[in-house]
Chains A and B, each alone.
Chain A
């Protein structure tokens, strides 16, 4: 439905209509060079489309340029009350919240259904409370690093912590962010409907608490944003005390002397940072042959040198934990390991606690997807690049979208939010395909790790297939004045790029405040800024951002002419 409007991005007046996905692909291909024109071209288009578009769309279109609320009011007045809402979002996590906010801005009458508490995993059991714990662990690390303190001339006598206060800090932060989120929804006029949402048919949802009669509501469009829960492999018995997931760990009910963390992805890594700073010893259990499998190999190598080797951590790689028994009757937690390849029993660990960080599983049960012939794939809701749900036969389900962890495209809170915004744009008639390669990710260890785009192996594969050259540039935090002033010179930034065009393919950083530094790179990728342009941007001195400044400047772009000339350009 959005196809004709979507062409506003790219077409000349004489262009022929194209299908949505095709335009999207094209859009993605040259998004960078054309996006700066969007505002202008859209406006022209919307005026041109007066004749054909229905009035609601035109008003919605205009709404972008006016105060949203006024237009929303006008829109509601003029609309037949065909649906209860323009948009219903199932799930009030960060994805649903982001979508709701943008929908209101776009003048849509919006409701959000939440069966648990507002904020979802991120706010209540994920990113937010874990940052509180990491803030504590970071300081503990500083206070305990005698060598470091001495170098700075500081004297700190026997640092310690109070576990309950640390736990309270995490809990209070979550409550605060949760109430902020709730208030922002309420103040914008988003209806919060309490209960578990189930899709009963096209554009129809029922919701209600267990034991109470369900209420049925209709909406022109529905977004599924039900998120995920910690994935627990079979054979592992969770008791919430000695064998637990991140959900329980964030409550910090105790600090075990020795904890095994199953999975060395970013969740496991962050918790290893917390636990070792608070005095635990950690054993990683990783199914793949290498720790931190998701990271760029060079980054994970350095991360191992900085975050694993000097700490009280050991690890078993290439093994599955087939059975984990909680501690009871004076016996420790037992973890049975088998070789990941041969499946032979390999070892048994006896530890005080085990945390399961083997990833997250979509939370899509009970959504009523069978009512509309949608089959989940390993629990994930299948979607197209516009996040529109596809049914068991591969056809698009009209008016139904799925964002965030539930679709499994990129399981990050801010990715869910970005997908939600993209869907709302789509609903409002603006073709929008989210470039997932521009979404940054961060791991909040000390020092932090962050990344955007492709890893080096991925980029090499892509280059091989695409027949283009790639180059790698690196800078070190050891050369950065601010980092040295902080006495935190450990770390590198790595850039993977096309030397022929100056396109940034990926940036990976490990070092002080890496999570904050990555956005210069992710914005550059999102906006299609080329290296030959960004290297002229000025960075305040002395700041950590100069690490990226150096990185961009060190790239060698071969093309003498503006590379964008070689690309299709919208005129």
Chain B
């Protein structure tokens, strides 16, 4: 609602807030909470003396000009102001007599915007209604102290208004130190210790939606060769909400348009480009995680990434998955690794290579089902590897892992890890995976299962390789290094026998790994 007070009625004297009650005629049946009706008198040419007199204002300095904000109704509103030099505080107005706190529905203006007298600045929800709050003064919205969705008690500062642009920095510093800043403050990031701990890689966060490797960055077949971005209304809304750059999202909708789930997938992986990337976990490079400083008993709202992860996780429930496990002997692989480690080959690359070679023989395991009616045999084998980062997870993708030799693949992997550290991963480097690997072996985890990322066909959870006493068929007992893998797959397209055959192939490759270096 935007109700004009009439600019002729600046508040002139201090009134008790309860004066406002007299303005409304309460119907006797009305419950205590029922609002005094909001009424405004815009008598054209007749300054509304009633409204003027009913406005109540709190001054810290009576000689200074009156409130920054008026609620745009003649219903008396508390629109008081405290004056710090030429910086004024914008207060949570009292929109009704029963209102004790108000919720910010939306900021009509953003920080740094110029405000003209009479313009709506913020929409406040009281216990009764949503009201536009307008400014009395020209100036600049210097600092917003209560974000959208935040709640502030009546009379507490919700923003600062600077008279000139030069004063914005001053106001900002004031906002951060202001004692009257509201109850809802953003959860402060705990400063990262310089010796960054490595959080464990977790397989549960969604690696990106798989899409064909040929999909190049922001190529929309429907949009003149990627000249324009074609995204549906909901996708655009989500992108704004999740702070995803649409230009960097690969659309998978009809004619290549960007649909909501593309944005969610991009947010789940894209926004995880770490602010201060910690060491990316690699096989054999496990470090002991240290707990960050956490305030116990606090309720922490999801970050946008956590929100996106949560959404994706819930979405994964709509896919009927099943799991098949296999125990693989790794003595030969370990031998090989020892031999070529000096040439820069990593275990991650070896596992990715082995997996991709197994996938060549079982294309169905590398397929994906998106609409529940059909499925796609992906043209490339792109192995996404889940990597934990501070507060989340990212899945750098080893593209065409089946075609690239093990040394190049290892170099590529190093490059991806470095890029992730430097926040330079491009979208196609983290959201084009067709099969995902998740490895918790470095923590001594011997087996676990993974949640299938929506939009892909399968994910493999790799446990630690451990010396195990085994009985062989010829009746002897021996010691072998064994590792358990467990594949989660979409049973709409991948059946038990498919996975079993794939795992058998994979075991053969790993147990006889000479092909890996060819």
Contacts and interface: CB of A to CB of B under 8 A. Distances in A.
Q: Tell whether A pairs with B.
A: yes
Interface of A: 257-258, 281-283, 297-298, 301-302, 305, 312-314, 330-332, 348, 350, 352, 460, 463-464, 469-476, 478-481, 492, 499, 541, 546, 549-551, 553-556
A258 B233 CA distance: 8
Contact of A350 (B34, B222, B237): B222
Given A470-B44, A479-B33, A314 B233 contact: yes
Nearest to A347: B228
Contacts of B164: none
A350 B233 contact: no
Contact of B39 (A464, A474, A549): A474
30 contacts: A257-B254, A297-B2, A301-B1, A302-B1, A302-B130, A305-B105, A305-B130, A312-B233, A330-B255, A350-B222, A350-B223, A350-B257, A352-B254, A469-B42, A469-B43, A470-B42, A471-B41, A474-B37, A474-B40, A475-B37, A476-B35, A478-B127, A479-B33, A479-B129, A492-B129, A499-B41, A541-B29, A550-B30, A553-B25, A553-B27
Nearest to A495: B39
Interface residues of B, number: 45
B186 interface: no
Contacts of A549: 27
Contacts of A551: 37
B347 interface: no
Interface of B: 1-3, 24-25, 27, 29-31, 33-46, 73, 105, 123, 127-130, 222-223, 228, 230, 232-234, 236-237, 253-255, 257, 259-260
A350 B256 CA distance: 11
Contact of A556 (B1, B29, B41, B123): B41
Nearest to B220: A350
Contacts of A352: 254
A314 B34 CA distance: 35
A285 B253 CA distance: 22
Contacts of A464: 44
A509 B237 CA distance: 28
A468 to B, nearest CB: 8
A550 B35 CA distance: 9
Contacts of A473: 37-40
Nearest 5 interchain pairs by C-beta: A554-B37, A479-B35, A314-B233, A312-B234, A476-B129
Given A332-B222, A469-B43, A471-B42, A481 B34 contact: yes
Contacts of B27: 546, 549-550, 553
A470 B46 CA distance: 11
Contacts, number: 120
Contact of A312 (B2, B35, B39, B237): B237
Contacts of A479: 30, 33-35, 128-129
B46 A469 contact: yes
Contacts of A550: 27, 30, 34-35, 37
Contacts of B3: 472, 474
B209 to A, nearest CB: 17
B233 A471 contact: no
B254 to A, nearest CB: 7
Given A312-B232, A550-B30, A554-B24, 19 more contacts: A298-B1, A302-B1, A314-B233, A332-B255, A472-B3, A472-B39, A472-B42, A474-B3, A476-B35, A478-B129, A479-B30, A479-B33, A480-B34, A481-B34, A541-B29, A550-B27, A550-B35, A553-B27, A554-B37
Interface centre among B25, B37, B38, B222 (most CB of A within 10 A): B37
A539 to B, nearest CB: 9
B35 A478 contact: yes
Nearest to B33: A479
A492 to B, nearest CB: 6
B232 A554 contact: no
Nearest to B125: A478
B87 to A, nearest CB: 30
A474 B33 CA distance: 17
A283 B228 CA distance: 17
Contact of A348 (B46, B228, B236): B228
B1 A481 contact: no
B234 A281 contact: yes
